Amino acid sequence: MRIEYVWLIPLPPLLSFFIIWLFTNRSKTLSHTVAIVSMAISWVLSVITFLFALTIEHFGQEVFELSVPWLPTGDTALNMGVLVDPLTAAMLFFVPLTCLLIFIYSVGYQNYGKQLDPHDAVGSPPHNGVEPMYSRFFAFLSLFAFGMLLLVVADNLLLLFVGWEIMGLCSYLLIGFWYGRNYADPNQITPRQAAVKAFMTTRVGDVAMMLGIVYLYFQTGTLSFREILYNEEVLLQLAETPSYLAGLSVAGLVGLLLFAGAVGKSAQFPLHVWLPDAMEGPTPVSAMIHAATMVSAGVYAMVRMFPLLSAGWHHGGELTAPMMAMGFIGSFTALFAATIAVAQKDVKKVLAYSTISQLGYMIAALGIGAYVAAAFHLITHAFFKALLFLGSGSVIHGVEHGMHHAPGAHEHLDPQDMFNMGGLRRKMPVTFWTFLIGGFALAGFPFITAGFWSKDEILADAFASQQIVFWVLVLSALLTAFYTMRQISLTFLGEPRTHSAEHASETTWTMTTPLVILAFFALFAGFVGVPESFPGLGEFLHNLGNFNRFHEFVGGTLLEHPEAVEFNIFPLVASIVASLGGLTLGWLVYGLNPLKQGQADPLAAPLGPIYTLLERKYFFDELYDYVFVRPAKWISEVLTYRIMDKIIIDGFLHGVARAAVVVGNFFKDELEKKTIDNPPIYLANAIQWVGKSFRVIQTGRVQNYLLIGMLVVLAFSGVYYLMLAGVLK
């Protein structure tokens, strides 16, 4: 078993981070070369691992593992190590690939090759020159890639958490990459504020997750995936032992706590508020972190922990508490976010809400027990969402290019606002066609896109188990297709609405090549997951060297292979209707008569206040500000520091001090001065008086001294004589 190198997979990007930070910071070329080469090394190792894993029969039973003791715990030790099972192998297929493509994309995005513009301020986005903090960007990207790969190959929950948090750090650093950027409107969130928002919102989930990890560790004595999740007895025990909260088993409570972490990381309701503001970061960041990898980490963690979350559940039986939570929150979020996406103006914000919505799909799929479907959608979504984000970055770049190169006065407009675009299909053809493919994949265009197959499988599973989830997801699919077409129409169709759009041009090859590669996957990656029971195509692919073995392969991760759902025409039809219907509706509203310059959104007037509600994201940001942020500030600044510490505690201490001073003064004045000090003073005065009286003898004259001496001698002689004579005794 060539497992020795698996732990090497996350290392090259980590080394790249240190090398760039410490050594190659000044050279842009060296920095991106180090980053891309290291990512490529990781990618190659991952591909080798993946291909090797594919060749092994029943891979789920004979995995690659390696671990070492890390922290001593009494008489035992907590181990850290790596694990490659079928799920890991599937993740290793797409994660390094997308990361690598995004690294390459970033070279062009950060304007490599252009000169450093002296008007560009460090810490703000460059206007037309190369990004001043170019190397730093690649350093952070590398660190992030390390975190994600660490999470993927981790063999225990703690190491997963480590990778999870490192990605959180990089997300913070990269969202706030342009830390010096300010906006004219004080209500618009700046990148540095968005970074804090992202970090803190996900941290709420993270602390809950930590409690879950700790609880699980205590209950089972280990955190290793193989020992907990691939172990019938342990899972049964966890499902049957009651926890601290009445009605929940240990598995249930731990599952809910871990799910809380995923809610934060994958931006599900109610912790979804950070993701749209995370769009303040550079677009490659949005693509990598907030589409393909970090947000998927939440879903991946849930997929990984599925045996625990579903402990005690049997197919067709009652859902466990975590599953119910996931089903509810996932499907609710899917619909909720889709409705908001319909009313957004910013091209990246639409994609952000779309991501939230699609993640909701995956969570909902897990909630109803569709393990393989969730994993499948995770992978296809990564491809087409990354594609869409990178495409949007390309569009923004093109519009900015037009902004700077339009003859006459430069317009000052938001290059991300779709209402400032239009007609870009002729100006940026490669971007257009790849974006179209990505958009259709997102909408689930039947048969030829990957998104169709993964979404269809979720719908099929939902139809077979929980009907309500099914209908909610179908409605979301309809809206998804609608807003996708809206986005495509506004951006690419019709005529350019502004001068900048007029003069936009296609971006460099480093940006368009990744788009093409991702588009390829967006089209063809779906075929690995075509169900075998699908009429015609399923059997055809099966005979073609078992091409569509995704279900069988990934399903092998679990102890019990999940059953593939029987083919049913109804969800298929519903899926096709929702997809094509939504696309057509979108085209009818936005594409048939493309908007002219200055024209408002045709949806605004008929929907009225509902449109505002959607556009302002149901005012959740404002709500959270009033309910959480302001009270927290008050508690911190006023209650804890000023009132509790300074007034109450210090006030008490100062009171004690003052009392001590009063007592001390009393002793000093009354007792000490009057009573105790006096006798020594009197004695001293007396001695002084005696001295003053006697000093008259000291005249300084020798003769006087001699006289006195003689008199004393005489006196003594007289006394002596008298003693000798017997008169005195």
Partner 1 sequence: MVPLSWYLILAAALFCIGLYGVLARRNAIAVLMGVELMMNAVIINLVAFWRYIQPTLINGQVFAVVVFAVAAAEASVGLALIISIYRRRNSVVAEDMNLLKW
Partner 2 sequence: MSFVLDHLVSLVVFTPLVGMVAVGLVPNGQKQALRWTAFLASLVPAGLSIALWFNYANSGGGFQFEEQAVWYQAINASYHVGVDGLAAPMILLTGLLTPLAILASFSIEDRIKPYMMLFLMLETGMFGVFAALDLMIFFLFYEIGLVPMYFLINQWGGKDRRYASFKFFVYTMAGSLGLLLSIQLIGLSSGTFDIVQLMNLWPSFKSELLPGVVSIDTIKTVAFFAFCLAFSIKIPLWPFHTWLPDAHTEAPTAGSMILAGVLLKLGAFGFLRLVLPLFPEQAHLYSPVLATLAVLAIVLGAFAAYGQSDFKRLVAYSSINHMGFVVLGIAVAAWAAGTSSEAYRESAAIAGTGAVLQMFNHGLSSAAMFFLVGVVYERVHTRDLNEIGGGIWQYAPVYGGILVFSAMSSLGLPGLNGFVSEFAVTRGAWPVFTAITAISMLGLLFTGAYILKAIQKVLHGPKNPKWAGHMPDMSTREIVAVAPLMALMLLIGVWPWWLADVINEAVKRLIG
544, 538 Cβ separation under 8 angstroms: no
Which of partner 2, partner 1, none lies near 700, with the C-beta cut-off 5 to 8 A by kind?
A: partner 1
Number of C-beta neighbours around residue 710 at 10 A: 10
Give dist(CA 511, CA 598) in Å, integer: 30
Nearest to 708 by CA among 721, 692, 697: 697
- Residue 73 host element (H or E): strand 64-73
DSSP annotation of 280 reads G
DSSP annotation of 222 reads -
Which of partner 2, partner 1, none lies near 703, with the C-beta cut-off 5 to 8 A by kind?
A: partner 1
CB of 467 to partner 2, least distance (A): 37
CB of 697 to partner 1, least distance (A): 9
Which of partner 2, partner 1, none lies near 599, with the C-beta cut-off 5 to 8 A by kind?
A: none
Are β-strands 64-73 and 76-84 bridged in parallel, bridged antiparallel, or unpaired? antiparallel
CB of 207 to partner 2, least distance (A): 4
Strands in 311-417 per DSSP E: none
CB of 703 to partner 1, least distance (A): 6
DSSP annotation of 120 reads S
Give dist(CA 341, CA 333) in Å, integer: 12
Q: Please, what is the end-to-end C-alpha distance for the chain in angstroms?
A: 123
CA 133-134-140 angle, 5° bins: 90
411, 504 Cβ separation under 8 angstroms: no
Q: Specify the residue, 71 or 707, whose C-beta has the smaller distance to partner 1.
A: 707
When binding is defined by CB under 8 A, the residue of 51, 116, 592, 635 that contacts partner 2 is 635
297, 361 Cβ separation under 8 angstroms: no
When binding is defined by CB under 8 A, the residue of 1, 61, 69, 236 that contacts partner 2 is 69
Stretch that binds partner 2, among 63-71, 232-240, 305-313, 372-380 (CB under 8 A): 63-71
Which of partner 1, partner 2, none lies near 61, with the C-beta cut-off 5 to 8 A by kind?
A: none
3-state SS string for 165-199: HHHHHHHHHHHCCCCCCCCCCCCCCCHHHHHHHHH
3-state SS string for 416-457: CEHHHCCCHHHHCHHHHHHHHHHHHHHHCCCCCCHHHHHHHH
Contacts of 300 (CB under 8 A, 6+ apart): 91, 151, 152, 378
CB of 713 to partner 1, least distance (A): 11
Which of partner 1, partner 2, none lies near 669, with the C-beta cut-off 5 to 8 A by kind?
A: none
Which of partner 1, partner 2, none lies near 158, with the C-beta cut-off 5 to 8 A by kind?
A: partner 2
When binding is defined by CB under 8 A, the residue of 57, 75, 233, 566 that contacts partner 2 is 75
When binding is defined by CB under 8 A, the residue of 37, 51, 588, 638 that contacts partner 2 is 638
When binding is defined by CB under 8 A, the residue of 1, 37, 51, 71 that contacts partner 2 is 71
When binding is defined by CB under 8 A, the residue of 1, 51, 207, 687 that contacts partner 2 is 207
Cis peptide before 270 (omega within 30 of 0): yes
Stretch that binds partner 2, among 190-198, 420-428, 440-448, 720-728 (CB under 8 A): 190-198
Amino acid identity, position 436: L
Tell me if 695 contacts partner 1 by CB under 8 A. yes
Q: Specify the residue, 203 or 377, whose C-beta has the smaller distance to partner 2.
A: 203
Stretch that binds partner 1, among 178-186, 293-301, 347-355, 690-698 (CB under 8 A): 690-698
If binding means CB under 8 A, how many residues of this protein chain bind partner 2? 60
CB of 716 to partner 1, least distance (A): 17
Give dist(CA 39, CA 596) in Å, integer: 44
CB of 696 to partner 1, least distance (A): 8
Which of partner 1, partner 2, none lies near 699, with the C-beta cut-off 5 to 8 A by kind?
A: partner 1
Give dist(CA 4, CA 7) in Å, integer: 7
Contacts of 166 (CB under 8 A, 6+ apart): 143, 144, 146, 147, 150
When binding is defined by CB under 8 A, the residue of 203, 349, 377, 427 that contacts partner 2 is 203
CB of 714 to partner 1, least distance (A): 11
When binding is defined by CB under 8 A, the residue of 176, 312, 514, 562 that contacts partner 2 is 176
When binding is defined by CB under 8 A, the residue of 105, 134, 144, 199 that contacts partner 2 is 199
CB of 717 to partner 1, least distance (A): 14
Of residues 697 through 716, those in contact with partner 1 by CB under 8 A are 698-703, 706-707, 710
Give the three-class secondary structure for 263: helix
Which of partner 2, partner 1, none lies near 127, with the C-beta cut-off 5 to 8 A by kind?
A: none
When binding is defined by CB under 8 A, the residue of 47, 214, 448, 604 that contacts partner 2 is 214
Tell me if 172 contacts partner 2 by CB under 8 A. yes
Of residues 648 through 687, those in contact with partner 2 by CB under 8 A are 649-650, 653
Any idea which residue has 């092998």 for tokens? 556
392, 402 Cβ separation under 8 angstroms: no
Give dist(CA 145, CA 722) in Å, integer: 119
271, 202 Cβ separation under 8 angstroms: yes
Using CA of residue 113, residue 116, residue 122, residue 127, what is the dihedral sign? negative
Tell me if 588 contacts partner 2 by CB under 8 A. no
- Residue 322 host element (H or E): helix 321-341
If binding means CB under 8 A, how many residues of this protein chain bind partner 1? 11
CB of 356 to partner 2, least distance (A): 22
Tell me if 693 contacts partner 1 by CB under 8 A. no
Tell me if 705 contacts partner 2 by CB under 8 A. no
Give dist(CA 382, CA 266) in Å, integer: 13
Any idea which residue has 């508020």 for tokens? 273
Contact code string over 282-311 relative to partner 2, x by CB under 8 A? ------------------------------
Which of partner 1, partner 2, none lies near 210, with the C-beta cut-off 5 to 8 A by kind?
A: partner 2
Cα dihedral value 236, 238, 239, 244, nearest 10: 160
Residues at the site binding partner 2, with contacts judged by CB under 8 A: 21, 69-76, 121-124, 158, 161-162, 164-166, 169, 172-173, 176, 179-182, 192-193, 195-196, 199-200, 203-204, 207-208, 210-211, 214-215, 217-218, 221, 244, 632-633, 635-642, 644-645, 649-650, 653
Residues at the site binding partner 1, with contacts judged by CB under 8 A: 695-696, 698-703, 706-707, 710
